[in-house]
Amino acid sequence: MLKLVTTRQLRGLFAVRRCALAVCAVLLATLIGEGSKLAAQETGASNRLIALPAPRQDGATSVERTLTQRRSVRHLKGESLSLAEISQLVWAAQGVTEPIEDPPSMWRSSEWKWMGGLRTAPSAGALYPLELYLVAAAVDDLEPGLYRYVPLEHALEHVGEGDRRQALAEAALMQSAIVDAPAVFVITAVYERTAVKYGERAERYVHIEVGAAGENIWLQAEALDLGSVFIGAFHDRDVQQVLGLPEDHQPLGIMPIGRKAEDWRERRGI
């Protein structure tokens, strides 16, 4: 037998339902907020931006000379690097050279922040999948820690505490150059940024871009009389865990940077 419900009773039921939904929404927001806090604690993210000195766009060393002298240097001094040297290196890798306000039509603005224009390294479709991280150990005016380069602001975002070179070296088959270097660059890529336009060809294009960015770092290092080597032998997942990288930031190259040891030529091998 059906039970009739009065209008007042219906209003009461809806009020209870609205109240329950509101409580659920508050609880969900709280849980999401706590989850975000935990994620920030795991990565050490502080969102603190450190402005870098303006990069030079001319120098005393020619491109031809840097191409002739560039070598893989695995034996580095532990002497500190200046913030100006770091500024020049990150700019060479991913610096903005022509500001463009509007992102490409394929850009997913809801997922990724547009970084403002054309860069020193070419990118298929100007979609810029690369993210550049700095593991700093001995850099003047910079605390030891993990930093992400922000091209649009030409700044470093502090995203992790402490010297992570030893753990990174262990993830990279104990290559000593990582431990010896005062600074280490880790080049990562978000493949999906390129895949939204190029599909399965994206992987190839991203790898071409990593090579271009790595060569830019190498040549700039040589122009600064610094040494570097491109390391591709590492366990991807271990590198991600050591640096606390987002899941979609795939590590593709590690480049220790420092002043060359006096006997680096005798010890370089082939």
Across residues 26-48, what is the average pLDDT?
40
Measuring CA to CA, how many Å separate 2 from each of 5, 7? 9, 16
Across residues 232-245, what is the average pLDDT?
97
Nearest to 132 by CA among 68, 213, 204: 213
Model-level pTM?
A: 0.81
pLDDT at 59: 87
**Rounded distance between C-alpha atoms, residue 74 and residue 182, angstroms:** 13
Beta bridge partners, 258, equal: 227
Dmax of the chain from CA atoms? Answer: 97
The token pair at 251 is 């590590």
Q: Which residue has the tokens 């209008």?
A: 7
Distance of CA 99 to the CA centre of its chain: 20
CB 130 within 8 A of CB 202: no
The token pair at 78 is 């532990």
DSSP classification of residue 75: -
Task: Return the SS3 of 207.
Answer: helix
Beta bridge partners, 116, equal: none
pLDDT at 47: 67
Across residues 72-84, what is the average pLDDT?
95
- 44 pLDDT above the threshold of 70: no
CB 253 within 8 A of CB 186: yes
- 24 pLDDT above the threshold of 70: no
